[in-house]
Structure 1
Amino acid sequence: MSLDVTRAEPLHDARQRLEHSRTSRLAQLQALDETRQATEDHLLAGQKTAMERVLKEIEEAFARIEDGTYGTCLACGKPLPAERLEILPYTRYCVACQRRSA
């Protein structure tokens, strides 16, 4: 099996997880927009802002797949654990770097 095939399989899985995350967030945003018509609420506005931020992070993750940097921590440059990418496919940082930035 060539290296390209081995690398392509995890990226295909990552794309699927990202697509699922994007579809879920878009559906949640639509539901919030429908709810928001009935009531203006700061909590709903906060939820919408958070979902829009995650959608931006998802789009950035797609860009990292395209440029070949997906799966690498943007802070320390180390590979991100597969388990972390399964849980948060759009994550930019390893756990240690995420904690340092928080």
Structure 2
Amino acid sequence: MTIDAARSEDPPERLTAHDVRLRLEHERNSRLSQLTAVEEGADQASADLLAVQAAAVRWVLEEIDLAFARLDDGTYGTCEGCGSAIPAGRLEILPYTRSCVGCRQRSA
């Protein structure tokens, strides 16, 4: 399966499902390391701050799992808000994003 995320404002780029999986796995591993570091730092910071940090990392891990599901069902790279292709540059930065910048800004 090939994901064509190229748009007029982006350089032509074709992301394969394999490339996307590698990026998502890298994100997941980074977040799991982050979560471990937060949980191990319990002696050094307040419990409230650690709980917030851990919740934020767990949220990203859930988003990564949902991105894997979108990749499997063929909807990865399509904005859930407007249905247009998410630009490759945005997917490069946030491989687990569900929306284009415009829809994300409107929802904030």
- TM category, shorter: 0.7 to 0.9
Equivalent residue number for residue 61 of structure 1: 67
Larger relative helix fraction: 1
**1:21-43 residue CA offsets vs partner (Å, 9 max, x unmatched):** 00000011111111115554312
1:1-102 alignment to 2 at 5 Å? 4=1, 7=2, 9-37=15-43, 39-102=45-108
Q: What fraction of aligned residue pairs are identical, expressed as a percent?
A: 56
Instruction: Give the AA of the match of 2:73.
Output: D
- 2:72 counterpart SS class: helix
The alignment partner of 1:49 has SS state of helix
Which segments of 5 or more consecutive residues in structure 2 lack a partner in the other structure? 4-14
Supply the RMSD in Å over aligned alpha carbons: 1.5
* Structure 1 portions without partners, runs of 5+: none
Q: Distance in 2 between matches of 1:39 and 1:58?
A: 27
Q: Which amino acid aligns with 1:44?
A: L
Shift of 1:53: 0.3
Task: Tell me the distance in 1 between the aligned counterparts of 2:106 and 2:16.
Answer: 28
Give the TM-score normalised by the residue count of structure 2. Answer: 0.83
State the alpha-carbon separation in 1 of the partners of residues 72 and 63 from structure 2.
14
User: Going by fraction, where is strand more abundant, 1 or 2?
Assistant: 2
Q: Which amino acid aligns with 2:102?
A: A
